[in-house]
């Protein structure tokens, strides 16, 4: 089992606790975290950023980037160049694209444009030795909020793979098990996200403290022999460091319990 967490969670934990970012990075490494998930905006100076992670014993699990493949071609090219160069320098195994959002009524045409842009980006990623991915996104304005549209992306872009976000299918009224059934064979990376459901709202929480029964979901991946990263994600929680530690314990318990049952 390999554990990662969003780098920005460490930044927020440093702000909340008053500790230095380097102290937080060392602390999460002691929790059992091996890597961080980043976007290019997290990095001001590459060599310094890499040195700080190395000193904390951390690697990069993936580099994500927001695009607008509906338009702004030059901006997309610049964003892709920065993302892919950064991922290559930091030896990230994966990159992820958020391809854009619907802005008009002709969603089919817009989705085709986003698929075309994503295909070009994926081809550039592969040429650099990176594995390109997309995820199920938590917005009804995303072309990737429903299983059938995610499958369309994956079918039309042969070298594209899937980052499975456990907490996002619920936004489109879908059960996470539907995603498991249809997308497991393309899944190479997992974002572990839970939600507390309160009066119809989906609130952020530590992994395992919500209502999505992630013990079953992650147990399913363990049973299937998944060997990639489990990336902890809980943007918006009240106490980032506490939530990271709690999430690590929950995921490790699933791994340990599965091992006992298997033996």
Per residue in 68-110, pLDDT (tens digit) is: 998 878 899 999 999 999 999 999 999 999 999 999 999 999 9
Mean pLDDT of 251-255: 91
pLDDT score of 181: 81
pLDDT at 261 over 50: no
Q: Which of 177, 174, 165, 96 is nearest to 130 (CA)?
A: 96
Contacts of 18 (CB under 8 A, 6+ apart): none
Enter the tokens of residue 42: 């997290």
Taking CA 106 as the corner, what is the angle to CA 162 and CA 165, rounded to the nearest 5 degrees?
Answer: 20
pLDDT at 157 over 70: yes
**Residue 259 pLDDT grade (very low, low, confident, very high; cuts 50, 70, 90):** low
What pLDDT, in 10s, does the model give residues 186-242? 999 999 999 999 998 999 999 999 999 999 999 989 989 999 999 999 999 999 999
Q: Which two tokens stand for residue 51?
A: 């040195």
Residues spanned by the domain of 135: 2-262
Q: According to the model, what pLDDT value does residue 176 have?
A: 80
Dihedral angle sign, alpha carbons of residues 68, 69, 73, 74: positive
For the record, the structure tokens of 174 come out as 């879908």
Whether 12 has a pLDDT exceeding 50, the answer reads yes
Spatial separation of the C-alpha atoms in residues 138 and 123, rounded to whole Å: 25
Q: Between 145 and 260, whose confidence is greater?
A: 145
Residue 258: predicted pLDDT: 67
Q: What is the CATH number of the domain that holds 106?
A: 3.20.20.150
Q: Which of 127-131, 142-146, 240-244 has the lowest mean pLDDT?
A: 142-146
Asked if 94 contacts 44 with a C-beta cutoff of 8 angstroms, the reply is no
Report the percentage of the chain scoring pLDDT > 70: 98
Q: Are 55 and 30 in contact (CB under 8 A)?
A: no
Q: H/E element holding 3?
A: strand 2-6
- Note the Cα 78 to chain centre separation in Å: 22
Phi, psi dihedral angles at 37 (to 5 degrees):
-100, 130
pLDDT digits (tens, 9 = 90+) for 43-77: 999 999 999 999 999 999 999 999 999 887 889 99
Furthest CA-CA distance within the chain = 54
Helix (H) or strand (E) holding 228: none
Strands 161-165 and 187-192 come out as: parallel
The secondary structure of 87-148 as a DSSP string is HHHTT-SEEEEE-----SS-HHHHHHHHHHHHHHHHHHHHHTT-EEEEE--S-TTSTTSSHH
Query: Torsion angle, CA of 174/175/181/183, rounded to 10 degrees?
Result: 50
Residue linked to tokens 């842009």 = 117
Rounded to whole angstroms, the Cα distance separating 106 from 28 reads: 45
Residue 198: exposure state from Cβ atoms within 10 A (0-12, 13-18, ≥19): exposed
Q: Are 232 and 217 in contact (CB under 8 A)?
A: no
Distances (CA, A) of 31 to 19, 64, 113: 16, 24, 43
* Number of domains observed in the structure of the chain: 1
pLDDT score, position 256: 84
């Amino acid at each position: 089992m390999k554990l990662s967490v969003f780098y920005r969670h460490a930044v927020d934990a440093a702000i909340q606790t008053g500790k230095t970012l380097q102290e937080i990075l060392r602390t999460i490494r002691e929790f059992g975290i091996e890597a961080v998930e980043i976007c290019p905006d997290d990095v001001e100076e590459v060599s310094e950023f890499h040195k700080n992670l190395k000193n904390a014993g951390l690697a990069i699990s993936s580099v994500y980037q927001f695009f607008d493949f509906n338009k702004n071609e030059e901006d997309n090219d610049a964003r892709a160049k920065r993302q892919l160069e950064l991922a290559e320098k930091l030896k990230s195994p994966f990159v992820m694209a958020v391809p854009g959002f619907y802005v008009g009524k002709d969603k089919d045409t817009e989705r085709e444009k986003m698929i075309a842009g994503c295909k070009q980006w994926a081809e550039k990623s592969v040429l650099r030795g990176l594995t390109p991915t997309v995820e199920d996104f938590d917005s009804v304005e995303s072309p990737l909020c429903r299983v059938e549209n995610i499958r369309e992306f994956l079918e039309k872009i042969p070298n594209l793979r899937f980052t499975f976000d456990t907490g996002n299918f619920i936004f489109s009224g879908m059960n996470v098990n539907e995603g498991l059934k249809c997308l497991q064979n393309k899944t190479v990376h997992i974002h572990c996200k839970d939600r507390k459901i309160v009066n119809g709202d989906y609130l952020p929480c530590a992994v395992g403290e919500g209502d999505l029964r992630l013990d079953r979901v992650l147990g399913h991946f363990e049973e299937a022999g998944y060997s990639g990263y489990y990336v902890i994600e809980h943007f918006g929680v009240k106490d980032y460091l506490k939530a990271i530690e709690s999430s690590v314990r929950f995921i490790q318990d699933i791994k340990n319990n599965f091992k006992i049952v298997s033996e």
